[in-house]
Structure 1
Amino acid sequence: MDAALKIITLLPWTDWLALSWFFAAWVAYALFARHRGQTEMTVLGVTNQLRRQWMLQTTHRDVRVIDGIVIQSLSSSPSFFASTTILIIGGLLAVLGTSEKATELVAEIPFAARTSVLVFDLKVLVLTGVFVFAFFRFTWSLRQYTFGALMIASAPDFRVFERGEASRDDFAERAGRVVGLAAETFNDGLRAYYMAFALIGWFFSPLAFAVLTAGVIWVLYTREFRSEVLEVLRS
Protein backbone atom coordinates (compact mmCIF):
# COMPACT_ATOMS: atom_id res chain seq x y z
CA MET A 1 0.00 0.00 0.00
CA ASP A 2 2.78 2.41 0.92
CA ALA A 3 4.69 1.53 -2.25
CA ALA A 4 1.63 2.15 -4.42
CA LEU A 5 1.01 5.49 -2.70
CA LYS A 6 4.63 6.45 -3.23
CA ILE A 7 4.35 5.72 -6.94
CA ILE A 8 1.14 7.73 -7.21
CA THR A 9 2.65 10.74 -5.42
CA LEU A 10 5.79 10.50 -7.52
CA LEU A 11 4.16 12.50 -10.32
CA PRO A 12 1.89 15.56 -10.14
CA TRP A 13 -1.76 14.99 -11.04
CA THR A 14 -1.24 16.84 -14.33
CA ASP A 15 1.33 14.25 -15.42
CA TRP A 16 -0.96 11.36 -14.50
CA LEU A 17 -3.80 13.03 -16.40
CA ALA A 18 -1.64 13.50 -19.51
CA LEU A 19 -0.35 9.92 -19.29
CA SER A 20 -3.89 8.55 -18.91
CA TRP A 21 -5.02 10.63 -21.89
CA PHE A 22 -2.10 9.24 -23.93
CA PHE A 23 -2.96 5.57 -23.37
CA ALA A 24 -6.72 6.14 -23.56
CA ALA A 25 -6.38 7.98 -26.88
CA TRP A 26 -4.07 5.31 -28.29
CA VAL A 27 -6.32 2.38 -27.36
CA ALA A 28 -9.52 4.22 -28.32
CA TYR A 29 -8.18 5.15 -31.73
CA ALA A 30 -6.96 1.60 -32.39
CA LEU A 31 -10.43 0.23 -31.56
CA PHE A 32 -12.09 2.98 -33.60
CA ALA A 33 -9.91 2.34 -36.64
CA ARG A 34 -10.57 -1.41 -36.48
CA HIS A 35 -14.33 -0.98 -36.06
CA ARG A 36 -14.67 1.85 -38.61
CA GLY A 37 -12.58 -0.10 -41.09
CA GLN A 38 -15.35 -2.71 -41.26
CA THR A 39 -17.90 -0.19 -42.54
CA GLU A 40 -15.75 2.41 -44.28
CA MET A 41 -12.89 2.00 -46.72
CA THR A 42 -9.57 2.82 -45.09
CA VAL A 43 -6.08 2.51 -46.53
CA LEU A 44 -5.71 -0.86 -44.85
CA GLY A 45 -9.15 -2.02 -45.94
CA VAL A 46 -8.59 -1.12 -49.59
CA THR A 47 -5.16 -2.73 -49.66
CA ASN A 48 -6.61 -5.86 -48.06
CA GLN A 49 -8.95 -6.12 -51.04
CA LEU A 50 -5.94 -5.80 -53.33
CA ARG A 51 -4.18 -8.57 -51.38
CA ARG A 52 -7.13 -10.89 -51.92
CA GLN A 53 -7.14 -10.02 -55.62
CA TRP A 54 -3.41 -10.71 -55.72
CA MET A 55 -3.89 -14.15 -54.17
CA LEU A 56 -6.67 -14.86 -56.65
CA GLN A 57 -4.29 -14.05 -59.51
CA THR A 58 -1.76 -16.41 -57.93
CA THR A 59 -4.07 -19.36 -58.61
CA HIS A 60 -3.85 -18.63 -62.35
CA ARG A 61 -0.04 -18.67 -62.48
CA ASP A 62 2.04 -21.70 -63.34
CA VAL A 63 5.27 -20.16 -62.02
CA ARG A 64 4.84 -18.14 -58.84
CA VAL A 65 8.30 -16.63 -58.52
CA ILE A 66 6.90 -13.10 -58.71
CA ASP A 67 4.64 -13.79 -55.72
CA GLY A 68 7.59 -14.95 -53.64
CA ILE A 69 9.50 -11.79 -54.57
CA VAL A 70 6.58 -9.59 -53.55
CA ILE A 71 6.21 -11.39 -50.20
CA GLN A 72 9.94 -11.01 -49.55
CA SER A 73 9.74 -7.31 -50.42
CA LEU A 74 6.79 -6.78 -48.07
CA SER A 75 8.49 -8.61 -45.20
CA SER A 76 11.60 -6.45 -45.51
CA SER A 77 9.79 -3.47 -43.91
CA PRO A 78 8.92 -5.15 -40.59
CA SER A 79 12.37 -6.74 -40.56
CA PHE A 80 14.02 -3.32 -40.93
CA PHE A 81 11.83 -1.72 -38.26
CA ALA A 82 12.37 -4.63 -35.85
CA SER A 83 16.14 -4.23 -36.16
CA THR A 84 15.88 -0.46 -35.76
CA THR A 85 13.63 -0.83 -32.72
CA ILE A 86 16.21 -3.04 -31.01
CA LEU A 87 18.79 -0.27 -31.44
CA ILE A 88 16.37 2.32 -30.05
CA ILE A 89 15.59 0.15 -27.02
CA GLY A 90 19.30 -0.35 -26.42
CA GLY A 91 19.87 3.40 -26.61
CA LEU A 92 17.06 4.13 -24.15
CA LEU A 93 18.41 1.54 -21.70
CA ALA A 94 21.81 3.18 -22.01
CA VAL A 95 20.20 6.52 -21.12
CA LEU A 96 18.91 4.94 -17.90
CA GLY A 97 22.51 4.24 -16.97
CA THR A 98 23.39 7.91 -17.27
CA SER A 99 20.19 9.43 -15.90
CA GLU A 100 21.86 12.23 -13.96
CA LYS A 101 23.73 13.59 -16.97
CA ALA A 102 20.69 13.13 -19.21
CA THR A 103 18.50 15.00 -16.70
CA GLU A 104 20.97 17.89 -16.66
CA LEU A 105 21.00 17.96 -20.45
CA VAL A 106 17.19 18.03 -20.68
CA ALA A 107 17.04 20.75 -18.04
CA GLU A 108 19.11 23.00 -20.31
CA ILE A 109 16.56 22.70 -23.12
CA PRO A 110 14.24 25.74 -23.21
CA PHE A 111 10.71 25.08 -21.88
CA ALA A 112 11.69 21.58 -20.72
CA ALA A 113 10.26 20.50 -17.38
CA ARG A 114 12.67 20.29 -14.43
CA THR A 115 12.23 16.87 -12.85
CA SER A 116 14.06 14.56 -10.50
CA VAL A 117 16.21 11.72 -11.77
CA LEU A 118 13.58 9.20 -10.63
CA VAL A 119 10.81 10.90 -12.62
CA PHE A 120 13.10 11.16 -15.65
CA ASP A 121 13.79 7.41 -15.41
CA LEU A 122 10.06 6.72 -15.25
CA LYS A 123 9.47 8.68 -18.44
CA VAL A 124 12.28 6.83 -20.20
CA LEU A 125 10.87 3.49 -19.04
CA VAL A 126 7.43 4.33 -20.44
CA LEU A 127 9.03 5.34 -23.74
CA THR A 128 11.02 2.11 -23.75
CA GLY A 129 7.82 0.14 -23.14
CA VAL A 130 6.23 1.69 -26.23
CA PHE A 131 9.15 0.57 -28.39
CA VAL A 132 9.11 -2.91 -26.83
CA PHE A 133 5.46 -3.18 -27.86
CA ALA A 134 6.42 -2.03 -31.38
CA PHE A 135 9.18 -4.65 -31.55
CA PHE A 136 6.78 -7.47 -30.73
CA ARG A 137 4.31 -6.27 -33.37
CA PHE A 138 7.01 -6.00 -36.04
CA THR A 139 8.41 -9.45 -35.36
CA TRP A 140 4.92 -10.99 -35.34
CA SER A 141 4.20 -9.27 -38.66
CA LEU A 142 7.40 -10.76 -40.05
CA ARG A 143 6.31 -14.25 -39.00
CA GLN A 144 2.89 -13.76 -40.53
CA TYR A 145 4.45 -12.82 -43.85
CA THR A 146 6.39 -16.08 -43.59
CA PHE A 147 3.11 -17.95 -43.14
CA GLY A 148 1.76 -16.20 -46.23
CA ALA A 149 4.82 -17.28 -48.21
CA LEU A 150 4.27 -20.86 -47.07
CA MET A 151 0.65 -20.74 -48.24
CA ILE A 152 1.70 -19.52 -51.67
CA ALA A 153 4.43 -22.14 -51.92
CA SER A 154 2.03 -24.93 -50.91
CA ALA A 155 -0.79 -23.79 -53.20
CA PRO A 156 -2.03 -26.44 -55.66
CA ASP A 157 -1.00 -26.28 -59.29
CA PHE A 158 -3.09 -23.89 -61.38
CA ARG A 159 -4.48 -26.87 -63.35
CA VAL A 160 -5.98 -28.21 -60.11
CA PHE A 161 -7.90 -24.97 -59.73
CA GLU A 162 -8.98 -25.09 -63.38
CA ARG A 163 -10.37 -28.61 -62.95
CA GLY A 164 -12.36 -27.43 -59.93
CA GLU A 165 -10.56 -29.76 -57.53
CA ALA A 166 -9.68 -26.75 -55.38
CA SER A 167 -11.52 -23.49 -54.82
CA ARG A 168 -9.80 -20.33 -56.06
CA ASP A 169 -11.99 -18.11 -53.88
CA ASP A 170 -11.31 -20.16 -50.76
CA PHE A 171 -7.56 -20.02 -51.27
CA ALA A 172 -7.61 -16.31 -52.10
CA GLU A 173 -9.69 -15.57 -49.00
CA ARG A 174 -7.44 -17.51 -46.61
CA ALA A 175 -4.09 -16.46 -48.09
CA GLY A 176 -5.21 -12.85 -48.53
CA ARG A 177 -6.37 -12.77 -44.92
CA VAL A 178 -3.03 -14.06 -43.63
CA VAL A 179 -1.08 -11.43 -45.58
CA GLY A 180 -3.63 -8.82 -44.51
CA LEU A 181 -3.13 -9.72 -40.85
CA ALA A 182 0.62 -9.28 -41.34
CA ALA A 183 -0.03 -5.80 -42.73
CA GLU A 184 -2.38 -4.93 -39.86
CA THR A 185 0.20 -6.05 -37.30
CA PHE A 186 2.89 -4.01 -39.05
CA ASN A 187 0.51 -1.03 -38.93
CA ASP A 188 0.23 -1.49 -35.14
CA GLY A 189 4.00 -1.22 -34.86
CA LEU A 190 4.10 1.92 -36.98
CA ARG A 191 1.32 3.43 -34.88
CA ALA A 192 3.46 2.84 -31.78
CA TYR A 193 6.28 4.79 -33.43
CA TYR A 194 3.92 7.71 -34.02
CA MET A 195 2.75 7.60 -30.41
CA ALA A 196 6.37 7.55 -29.22
CA PHE A 197 6.83 10.97 -30.80
CA ALA A 198 3.90 12.25 -28.75
CA LEU A 199 5.48 10.75 -25.63
CA ILE A 200 8.60 12.84 -26.17
CA GLY A 201 6.46 15.88 -25.35
CA TRP A 202 6.23 14.58 -21.79
CA PHE A 203 9.86 15.58 -21.24
CA PHE A 204 8.83 19.20 -21.85
CA SER A 205 5.51 19.47 -20.00
CA PRO A 206 2.25 17.58 -19.42
CA LEU A 207 0.45 20.12 -21.62
CA ALA A 208 2.84 19.57 -24.52
CA PHE A 209 2.42 15.82 -24.00
CA ALA A 210 -1.39 16.06 -24.19
CA VAL A 211 -1.36 18.36 -27.21
CA LEU A 212 1.12 16.19 -29.10
CA THR A 213 -0.99 13.11 -28.34
CA ALA A 214 -4.04 14.77 -29.88
CA GLY A 215 -1.95 15.92 -32.84
CA VAL A 216 -0.57 12.45 -33.52
CA ILE A 217 -4.06 10.91 -33.35
CA TRP A 218 -5.23 13.50 -35.88
CA VAL A 219 -2.34 12.70 -38.21
CA LEU A 220 -3.09 8.97 -37.95
CA TYR A 221 -6.77 9.59 -38.69
CA THR A 222 -6.15 11.76 -41.74
CA ARG A 223 -3.65 9.31 -43.21
CA GLU A 224 -5.85 6.26 -42.70
CA PHE A 225 -9.24 7.79 -43.51
CA ARG A 226 -8.76 11.05 -45.43
CA SER A 227 -5.48 10.76 -47.34
CA GLU A 228 -4.97 11.42 -51.06
CA VAL A 229 -3.55 7.95 -51.61
CA LEU A 230 -6.80 6.49 -50.23
CA GLU A 231 -8.78 8.41 -52.84
CA VAL A 232 -6.51 7.06 -55.56
CA LEU A 233 -6.80 3.49 -54.29
CA ARG A 234 -10.59 3.74 -54.08
CA SER A 235 -10.99 5.19 -57.58
Structure 2
Amino acid sequence: MPFDGFTIVDYIALACFVGAWLAYYLAVERTAVGSISLNRLMNRHRYRWMRVQAGRENRIIDANINSSLQNGTAFFASTSLIAIGGSLALLRSPDEVLGIFAHLSVGGTAARGAWELKVLGLTVIFVYAFFKFSWSYRLFNYAAILIGAVPEKKEGDEEAILVASWRAASMSTVAGRHFNRGQRAFFFSLAYLGWFISPYVLIATTGFVLYVMWHRQFASDALAALARGPWPDPP
Protein backbone atom coordinates (compact mmCIF):
# COMPACT_ATOMS: atom_id res chain seq x y z
CA MET A 1 0.00 0.00 0.00
CA PRO A 2 1.40 3.45 -0.84
CA PHE A 3 2.75 5.33 2.16
CA ASP A 4 2.87 9.09 2.69
CA GLY A 5 2.26 9.94 -0.93
CA PHE A 6 4.52 7.28 -2.42
CA THR A 7 3.23 5.16 -5.28
CA ILE A 8 4.24 1.75 -6.53
CA VAL A 9 6.36 3.47 -9.17
CA ASP A 10 8.22 5.31 -6.40
CA TYR A 11 9.12 2.03 -4.75
CA ILE A 12 10.24 0.56 -8.06
CA ALA A 13 12.39 3.60 -8.81
CA LEU A 14 13.93 3.49 -5.33
CA ALA A 15 14.67 -0.21 -5.77
CA CYS A 16 16.38 0.54 -9.11
CA PHE A 17 18.44 3.26 -7.43
CA VAL A 18 19.59 1.05 -4.56
CA GLY A 19 20.10 -1.91 -6.87
CA ALA A 20 22.25 0.13 -9.26
CA TRP A 21 24.43 1.38 -6.40
CA LEU A 22 24.86 -2.13 -5.02
CA ALA A 23 25.52 -3.68 -8.44
CA TYR A 24 28.17 -1.09 -9.25
CA TYR A 25 29.87 -1.65 -5.90
CA LEU A 26 29.94 -5.42 -6.40
CA ALA A 27 31.15 -5.14 -10.00
CA VAL A 28 34.00 -2.76 -9.23
CA GLU A 29 35.15 -4.06 -5.86
CA ARG A 30 34.03 -7.68 -5.55
CA THR A 31 34.20 -9.33 -8.96
CA ALA A 32 36.87 -10.28 -11.47
CA VAL A 33 35.49 -7.66 -13.84
CA GLY A 34 36.60 -4.96 -11.43
CA SER A 35 40.22 -6.06 -11.75
CA ILE A 36 40.46 -4.12 -15.02
CA SER A 37 38.76 -1.01 -13.64
CA LEU A 38 40.58 2.28 -13.31
CA ASN A 39 40.48 2.16 -9.51
CA ARG A 40 41.97 -1.32 -9.27
CA LEU A 41 44.71 -0.56 -11.79
CA MET A 42 45.64 2.57 -9.88
CA ASN A 43 45.89 0.47 -6.72
CA ARG A 44 48.65 -1.52 -8.41
CA HIS A 45 50.50 1.72 -9.00
CA ARG A 46 50.16 2.55 -5.30
CA TYR A 47 52.14 -0.59 -4.51
CA ARG A 48 54.65 0.28 -7.21
CA TRP A 49 54.99 3.76 -5.72
CA MET A 50 55.79 2.30 -2.31
CA ARG A 51 58.37 -0.02 -3.80
CA VAL A 52 60.05 2.93 -5.50
CA GLN A 53 59.99 5.16 -2.42
CA ALA A 54 61.65 2.42 -0.39
CA GLY A 55 64.77 2.93 -2.48
CA ARG A 56 64.89 6.70 -2.02
CA GLU A 57 67.11 8.32 0.55
CA ASN A 58 65.05 11.51 0.55
CA ARG A 59 61.30 10.80 0.76
CA ILE A 60 60.02 14.36 0.84
CA ILE A 61 58.35 13.88 -2.54
CA ASP A 62 56.47 10.84 -1.20
CA ALA A 63 55.31 12.78 1.85
CA ASN A 64 54.10 15.59 -0.43
CA ILE A 65 52.17 13.17 -2.63
CA ASN A 66 50.46 11.61 0.37
CA SER A 67 49.70 15.07 1.74
CA SER A 68 48.01 16.08 -1.50
CA LEU A 69 45.84 12.96 -1.34
CA GLN A 70 44.92 13.73 2.24
CA ASN A 71 44.06 17.34 1.44
CA GLY A 72 41.68 16.15 -1.27
CA THR A 73 39.78 14.00 1.20
CA ALA A 74 39.60 16.92 3.64
CA PHE A 75 38.00 19.09 0.95
CA PHE A 76 35.34 16.51 0.18
CA ALA A 77 34.66 15.87 3.88
CA SER A 78 34.04 19.60 4.36
CA THR A 79 31.83 19.65 1.27
CA SER A 80 29.83 16.75 2.71
CA LEU A 81 29.10 18.73 5.86
CA ILE A 82 27.90 21.67 3.78
CA ALA A 83 25.68 19.32 1.76
CA ILE A 84 24.24 17.84 4.96
CA GLY A 85 23.40 21.31 6.24
CA GLY A 86 21.85 22.28 2.92
CA SER A 87 19.68 19.18 2.73
CA LEU A 88 18.48 19.62 6.32
CA ALA A 89 17.64 23.24 5.54
CA LEU A 90 15.11 21.97 3.02
CA LEU A 91 13.07 20.60 5.95
CA ARG A 92 12.58 24.07 7.45
CA SER A 93 9.97 25.27 4.96
CA PRO A 94 8.54 22.29 3.05
CA ASP A 95 5.27 24.08 2.23
CA GLU A 96 7.08 26.87 0.39
CA VAL A 97 9.25 24.43 -1.55
CA LEU A 98 6.25 22.28 -2.46
CA GLY A 99 4.47 25.40 -3.65
CA ILE A 100 7.38 26.14 -6.01
CA PHE A 101 7.31 22.59 -7.36
CA ALA A 102 3.55 22.83 -7.87
CA HIS A 103 4.07 25.72 -10.30
CA LEU A 104 6.74 23.92 -12.31
CA SER A 105 5.79 22.11 -15.49
CA VAL A 106 8.14 19.23 -14.61
CA GLY A 107 5.92 18.19 -11.73
CA GLY A 108 7.24 17.24 -8.32
CA THR A 109 6.37 15.79 -4.94
CA ALA A 110 2.83 16.61 -3.93
CA ALA A 111 2.68 15.14 -0.40
CA ARG A 112 4.54 16.78 2.44
CA GLY A 113 5.38 13.47 4.09
CA ALA A 114 6.90 12.12 0.90
CA TRP A 115 8.97 15.27 0.46
CA GLU A 116 10.36 15.07 3.99
CA LEU A 117 11.27 11.40 3.62
CA LYS A 118 13.03 12.09 0.34
CA VAL A 119 15.04 14.91 1.92
CA LEU A 120 15.98 12.64 4.82
CA GLY A 121 17.13 10.03 2.32
CA LEU A 122 19.32 12.61 0.60
CA THR A 123 20.74 13.60 3.98
CA VAL A 124 21.59 9.98 4.75
CA ILE A 125 23.56 9.75 1.50
CA PHE A 126 25.60 12.83 2.40
CA VAL A 127 26.18 11.54 5.95
CA TYR A 128 27.47 8.29 4.48
CA ALA A 129 29.78 10.27 2.18
CA PHE A 130 31.07 12.31 5.13
CA PHE A 131 31.95 9.20 7.11
CA LYS A 132 33.78 7.74 4.12
CA PHE A 133 35.77 10.91 3.41
CA SER A 134 36.63 11.55 7.06
CA TRP A 135 37.77 7.94 7.53
CA SER A 136 39.79 8.15 4.31
CA TYR A 137 41.46 11.29 5.65
CA ARG A 138 42.43 9.44 8.80
CA LEU A 139 43.74 6.47 6.83
CA PHE A 140 45.94 8.71 4.68
CA ASN A 141 47.33 10.04 7.96
CA TYR A 142 48.16 6.47 8.94
CA ALA A 143 49.72 5.93 5.52
CA ALA A 144 51.98 8.93 6.11
CA ILE A 145 53.17 7.38 9.36
CA LEU A 146 53.80 4.05 7.66
CA ILE A 147 55.76 5.74 4.87
CA GLY A 148 57.92 7.37 7.48
CA ALA A 149 58.35 4.00 9.20
CA VAL A 150 59.91 2.36 6.12
CA PRO A 151 63.53 1.81 7.13
CA GLU A 152 66.42 3.02 5.04
CA LYS A 153 68.63 0.45 3.38
CA LYS A 154 71.38 1.00 5.90
CA GLU A 155 68.95 0.46 8.79
CA GLY A 156 67.30 -2.82 7.80
CA ASP A 157 67.46 -5.78 5.48
CA GLU A 158 65.65 -6.05 2.17
CA GLU A 159 62.82 -8.14 3.55
CA ALA A 160 62.04 -5.70 6.36
CA ILE A 161 62.00 -2.81 3.88
CA LEU A 162 59.63 -4.64 1.53
CA VAL A 163 57.26 -5.59 4.36
CA ALA A 164 57.13 -2.00 5.63
CA SER A 165 56.56 -0.72 2.08
CA TRP A 166 53.76 -3.23 1.58
CA ARG A 167 52.04 -2.03 4.76
CA ALA A 168 52.22 1.59 3.61
CA ALA A 169 50.89 0.67 0.18
CA SER A 170 48.05 -1.38 1.69
CA MET A 171 47.02 1.48 3.97
CA SER A 172 47.09 3.94 1.08
CA THR A 173 44.98 1.53 -0.99
CA VAL A 174 42.37 1.20 1.75
CA ALA A 175 42.27 4.97 2.14
CA GLY A 176 41.75 5.35 -1.60
CA ARG A 177 38.99 2.75 -1.55
CA HIS A 178 37.01 4.66 1.08
CA PHE A 179 37.59 7.90 -0.80
CA ASN A 180 36.17 6.30 -3.94
CA ARG A 181 33.11 5.15 -2.02
CA GLY A 182 32.54 8.67 -0.78
CA GLN A 183 32.77 10.05 -4.30
CA ARG A 184 30.41 7.32 -5.46
CA ALA A 185 27.88 8.55 -2.92
CA PHE A 186 28.21 12.07 -4.34
CA PHE A 187 27.55 10.80 -7.86
CA PHE A 188 24.51 8.83 -6.80
CA SER A 189 23.20 11.79 -4.82
CA LEU A 190 22.94 13.61 -8.14
CA ALA A 191 20.85 10.73 -9.47
CA TYR A 192 18.73 10.80 -6.31
CA LEU A 193 17.75 14.42 -7.01
CA GLY A 194 15.69 13.17 -9.92
CA TRP A 195 13.27 11.63 -7.44
CA PHE A 196 12.17 15.10 -6.34
CA ILE A 197 10.74 15.55 -9.83
CA SER A 198 9.25 12.09 -10.40
CA PRO A 199 10.11 8.41 -9.96
CA TYR A 200 10.53 8.09 -13.72
CA VAL A 201 13.17 10.80 -13.65
CA LEU A 202 14.91 8.95 -10.80
CA ILE A 203 15.15 5.84 -12.96
CA ALA A 204 16.53 7.90 -15.85
CA THR A 205 19.07 9.80 -13.75
CA THR A 206 20.18 6.59 -12.04
CA GLY A 207 20.82 4.99 -15.41
CA PHE A 208 22.70 8.05 -16.63
CA VAL A 209 24.94 8.29 -13.54
CA LEU A 210 25.58 4.55 -13.65
CA TYR A 211 26.67 4.82 -17.28
CA VAL A 212 28.96 7.78 -16.58
CA MET A 213 30.69 5.98 -13.72
CA TRP A 214 30.98 2.74 -15.67
CA HIS A 215 32.48 4.59 -18.63
CA ARG A 216 35.07 6.29 -16.42
CA GLN A 217 36.11 3.02 -14.85
CA PHE A 218 36.15 0.77 -17.91
CA ALA A 219 36.26 2.86 -21.10
CA SER A 220 37.70 6.29 -20.31
CA ASP A 221 40.75 8.02 -21.69
CA ALA A 222 42.20 7.89 -18.17
CA LEU A 223 42.11 4.10 -18.32
CA ALA A 224 43.68 4.18 -21.79
CA ALA A 225 46.51 6.32 -20.40
CA LEU A 226 47.55 3.45 -18.12
CA ALA A 227 47.87 1.12 -21.11
CA ARG A 228 50.22 3.36 -23.08
CA GLY A 229 53.90 2.68 -23.49
CA PRO A 230 56.62 4.59 -21.64
CA TRP A 231 56.99 7.19 -24.40
CA PRO A 232 53.57 7.75 -25.99
CA ASP A 233 53.07 10.16 -28.85
CA PRO A 234 51.72 13.50 -27.62
CA PRO A 235 48.02 14.10 -28.30
1:200 to 193, 205, 215: 193
1:94 shift after superposition = 1.2
Unaligned runs of 5+ in 2: 229-235
Percent identity at matched positions? Answer: 31
1:168 shift after superposition = 3.5
Matches within 5 A, 1:92-103: 92-103=87-98
Equivalent in the alignment of 2:143 = 148
- SS of the residue corresponding to residue 106 of structure 2 reads coil
- SS of the residue corresponding to residue 159 of structure 1 reads coil
Task: Give me the CA root mean square deviation.
Answer: 1.7
Report the TM-score when normalising by structure 1.
Answer: 0.91
1:158 aligns with 2:123: no
Equivalent in the alignment of 1:178 = 171
Per-residue Cα deviation, 1:56-87 (whole angstroms, up to 9, x for no partner)? 11111222111111111011111001101101
Which amino acid is the alignment partner of residue 170 of structure 2? Answer: R
Equivalent in the alignment of 1:30 = 25
1:51 shift after superposition = 0.9
1:157 shift after superposition = 2.0
Count, aligned residues? 228
Which amino acid is the alignment partner of residue 151 of structure 1? Answer: L
Give the stretch that moved more between structures: 133-142 or 151-160: 151-160
Which amino acid is the alignment partner of residue 64 of structure 1? Answer: R
- SS of the residue corresponding to residue 146 of structure 1 reads helix
Tell me how far apart the structure 2 counterparts of residues 74 and 234 of structure 1 sit (CA, whole Å): 23
1:221 to 194, 214, 222: 214
Larger relative contact order (CA 8 Å, sep ≥ 6): 1
Equivalent in the alignment of 1:88 = 83
1:231 aligns with 2:228: no
Unaligned runs of 5+ in 1: none
Structure 1 residues 68 and 90, CA gap change in structure 2 (3 angstroms): same
Equivalent in the alignment of 2:103 = 108
